[in-house]
Structure 1
Amino acid sequence: MGGYSRWIKPEIYPLLAPVAAVVGLCTMQLVRNICTNPEVRVTKEHRAAGVLDNFEEGEYYAQHRLRQFLRGKRPEVMPNINKFFSNPN
């Protein structure tokens, strides 16, 4: 335990959560791109296909569920507070 006490101190515990969250988001995006991006070809057979005109698959990749959920919403962080201060009664 002698070497760990030099690097792992109680002061850094609050920093571990944001760092772990960022590493998790980066990992999720990397896996998403490798597994579902139509322009990424990992296997040799797919790379040999060359340039494909697969617009439907590209549109499906670009319009993911989060983007579909946010499509009709206004770009506001706190809409109730915005309505309260912008519409005085």
Structure 2
Amino acid sequence: MAGNRWFRPEVYPLFAAVGVAIGICGFQLVRNVCINPEVRVSKENRAAGVLENQAEGEKYAEHFLRKFVRGKRPEIMPTLNSFFADPERS
């Protein structure tokens, strides 16, 4: 009977939202552990101390998504926003 309480159709969006949030957190964790230049998992890399490798840090910080949205306006629907907000279009 307890399974019937949690697996009702009204709860599916909640499961989906929590699943997406866990997926995003997991992706960020794996990304940081694998390619972040400031995270050192192996003992040899940790013994190196503070490294001054600006190019590797720049490569990590300037990923594809950041480069893609750099010149764009922060709008979700730019054509719809300009249709209702632009006085020149009337």
1:50 Cα deviation after fit: 0.3
Match in the other structure for 2:27 = 28
SS at 1:21's partner residue? helix
CA RMSD between the two structures: 1.5
Aligned residues: 88
- CA distance in structure 2 between the aligned counterparts of 1:68 and 1:78, rounded to whole angstroms: 20
Greater shift after overlay, 34-43 or 70-79? Answer: 70-79
SS at 2:71's partner residue? coil
Write the deviation string for residues 67-89 of structure 1: whole angstroms up to 9, x where unpaired. Answer: 01101111112111121112232
**Bigger RCO (CA 8 Å, 6+ sep):** 1
Q: 2:28 corresponds to which letter in structure 1?
A: Q
SS at 1:52's partner residue? coil
Q: Provide structure 2 residue ranges, at least 5 long, that are not aligned to the other structure.
A: none
- CA distance in structure 2 between the aligned counterparts of 1:3 and 1:77, rounded to whole angstroms: 41
Using structure 2 for the length normalisation, give the TM-score.
0.87
Match in the other structure for 1:44 = 43
Match in the other structure for 1:85 = 84
Using structure 1 for the length normalisation, give the TM-score.
0.87
1:12 Cα deviation after fit: 1.7
User: Kindly, what percent of the aligned residue pairs are identical?
Assistant: 60
Greater shift after overlay, 7-16 or 59-68? Answer: 7-16
1:3 Cα deviation after fit: 5.1
Greater fraction of residues in helix: 2
